[in-house]
Amino acid sequence: MKTQKKKQRRWSYSTPGWLSVWGLWLMVANPGQAESLPKWELGAGIAAFSLPDYPGADQQTEYVWPIPYVVYRGEYLRAGRGGLRGMLYRGSHLELDVSTGGSLPVNSDDNEARRGMEDLDPSFELGPSLRVKFIDDEDRQFQLRLNARALVSVEDTLKLGYQGWLLNPELRWISQLGEGLQVDGILQWRYGSRGYHDHFYTVTDKDALPERPAYQAERGHSGYGAGFSLRWQPDRDWRWSVGYRYFDLHNVAFDDSPLFRQNHGHYLFLSFSRTLWRSQRMVSEPVSEL
């Protein structure tokens, strides 16, 4: 383990690109309704969140961004609080779809551990997800998700580069606490390939310094995570959401990298949004959807 350095904070105000917007869909509240819902909804909102530059970084960045609120409830394609989902199979106890994730870019000049190295490109994760539904009632749900995703970086020229893969099984639950109010939680484990860890933690000979020796990442344990979110919909148009996630990075496969500075991470977010337009066509939906 490397000696921890004092955490530095930065504030950033900017308009996100399409990749950042995609990731922020995960943060926007969308409490379920007992009745039929519009097939699509469009709106806008504001999201504020704080997260490490990358897992294991000792520098935290805060963002405040305008975001679109987009919901689409198609039979095979869905967008909303659960991100962008491609529905491959839907049964009473099993679902197979496409899960997504991603990370924001990092300017290496703003990160002490990476100074002088190439910037971290924004990236997205994409792959199949098998959902096992243990409880699927009107006011509560409990699922096991078995996620396997590929990490793809996006360069300035929009050139895509495959960086490796991640296994990310999760336990998720959600409960309705009252009219328009719900709480959900998550427990997860992460296991990454050598290429996946290369993207964040490898130091090449070209980037090596006396205080930052060369390092080759290996595949293995990537950490545990736990978190919760509280979502409130006071009426059919407004949505509020607040959440927190903690990642434990003890004994990860990359803990001897000079870029790994601390064995935990805190992620916080707050968002609100308002629906401006919705379709007249209605579709039947579960009361709440994980």
In the chain, the domains with their CATH numbers are 8-283 (2.40.230)
What three-state secondary structure class fits 267? strand
Beta strands in the chain, from DSSP E residues, in sequence order = 8-13, 37-38, 40-52, 59-73, 77-80, 83-90, 94-103, 123-136, 140-154, 160-167, 170-178, 181-192, 220-232, 238-248, 264-278, 282-283
Global pTM reads 0.82
- Residue 80: predicted pLDDT: 76
Cα–Cα distance for residue pair 271/1, rounded to 1 Å: 35
Please name which of 238, 239, 196 lies closest in space to residue 219, comparing C-alpha atoms.
196
Please name which of 41, 127, 25 lies closest in space to residue 84, comparing C-alpha atoms.
25
Mean pLDDT of the chain: 86
Q: Is residue 40 over pLDDT 70?
A: yes
Q: Is residue 201 over pLDDT 80?
A: yes
Task: Count CB atoms within 10 A of the CB of residue 178.
Answer: 8
- Residue 122: predicted pLDDT: 93
Contact 68, 42 (CB under 8 A): yes
The pLDDT confidence band at residue 5, using thresholds 50, 70 and 90, is very low
Tens digit of pLDDT for each residue in 83-133? 677 788 888 899 999 888 888 899 999 999 999 999 999 999 999 999 999
Tens digit of pLDDT for each residue in 202-244? 999 999 999 999 999 999 999 999 999 999 999 999 999 999 9
Question: Mean of the pLDDT values across residues 156-166?
Answer: 91
